[in-house]
Structure 1
Amino acid sequence: MTDPHDPNSIPMLTDVIVPGRPPLGRPGETHAQAQVETPHEPLPASQPTAQPGAYTPPAASLSGTAPLDAREIEFIAERLRGRFANYLRQDARAVIEARCRDAIEEHTNWLVRQVSREVMSALEQEVAGWVRDAVSEELARHTSRR
């Protein structure tokens, strides 16, 4: 698992991100770095608002800085892609394998319970027949002696 306080960690689906609120900084990260990496800023009141939850790119700037050019956007996208690929090669693999093991174990346990239930049912019926036959034979043998 990754440490959420690690500046190189990848945000998880469980991280809470609130639109319009600056993200919580990670240790060692400056406010400017956090703003460049997560360009979420509320729209000025003069612009129409989008539907709740919809991403709207920043209009002109990020807190007084120049807008990102294509090279910077490409750099950020490549960095995120690299971090995600690294996560998939390492931590995600362990998580996926653990979940697969759990699912296989759960399914195996379910199968064992089902087979056990079927075997017990068949044995109950068979044993009941054996007991009935043994009692009948014993009664027949007991009545023939009289």
Structure 2
Amino acid sequence: MVSEQIKASLAPCGLSCEKCFAHVDGDIRRYSLKLKEKLRNFDIYAKKFETLLGDPIFKKYPDFKEMLDYFTSENCKGCRNEQCRLFKDCGVRSCHQEKQIDFCFQCEEFPCDKTNFDKHLYKTWVMLNEKIKKAGIEQFYEKTRTRPRYL
């Protein structure tokens, strides 16, 4: 039986929900909130630094701030708690609920064409599930806990 901690972290497809930029408790959101707090009124200073330092990079600060705002506003609770907010057409959640399995590799139809993933994500999905199947879910989880999601 798979622990609740592992289920809370890993989606049925094998991707780490907690490492996703959209996850409410994820590192990306947490660090973005801290950075936003540290930068607080940097808009004013970015304009000053552009002139003072003569560096045009500070003209891009509004774009950076917009991205940071986006990262801090996302609040997905993970695929096991709600429909994925990134892959709106994902077929994994409904399939895993219907078949009452924890992960795709446990299904006798794996790999299948029900995911609705693009070519790249489909390849990643197969690779992750093969690794989980080979190593075991606990060992896979331990090995990937500190690894970045976006490699």
Compare CA radii of gyration and give the structure with the larger one: 1
For Structure 1 versus Structure 2, the TM-score category normalised by the shorter chain is: under 0.3
More contact order relative to length (CA 8 Å, sep ≥ 6):
2
| TM-score, structure 1 normalization | 0.22
